[in-house]
Amino acid sequence: MPRGFTRGVAFEREAQRWLEQQGLVLVERNFRTRGGEIDLVMRDGTKLVFIEVRKRGHSRFGNALASITPKKVSRIRHAAELFLKKNVKKSEATPVCRFDVVTFDGDPPDQELRWVRNAF
């Protein structure tokens, strides 16, 4: 596996652990579709939360949150629609959903984790 991929998985797991400490419950990790991917799908009470995890070691090209382009947002939303179609039965009401971002900026030991609720 490419180094960036394995590092990305490590940050996704770290974000998952941190979010679980905040009370969220994992539903699915790395939901992939042809048009996009959702890093984490979690429950926050009755809400279904689609979470993008981003890491930036330096801010030369902006922070981790700034790295989420409109095209990336579109792909995440599309993947979320497909997730709901696949996982919500027609007889059930679609749950209230939100899109969060967990970012990691900088490198250890000065690395900063930031959780942005309703990011887009």
Total count of domains within the chain: 1
Name the residue type at position 21. Q
Q: Give the model's confidence band at 84: pLDDT under 50 very low, under 70 low, under 90 confident, else very high.
A: very high
What confidence tens digit (pLDDT) does each residue in 19-43 have? 999 999 999 999 999 988 999 999 9
Is the pLDDT assigned to residue 10 strictly greater than 50? yes
The boundaries of the domain holding residue 87 are: 3-116
Q: What is the pTM of this model?
A: 0.88
Phi-psi region of 49 (alpha: psi -120 to 50; beta: other; left: phi over 0): beta
Give per-residue pLDDT as tens, 56-66: 766 666 678 88
The CATH number of residue 9's host domain is 3.40.1350.10
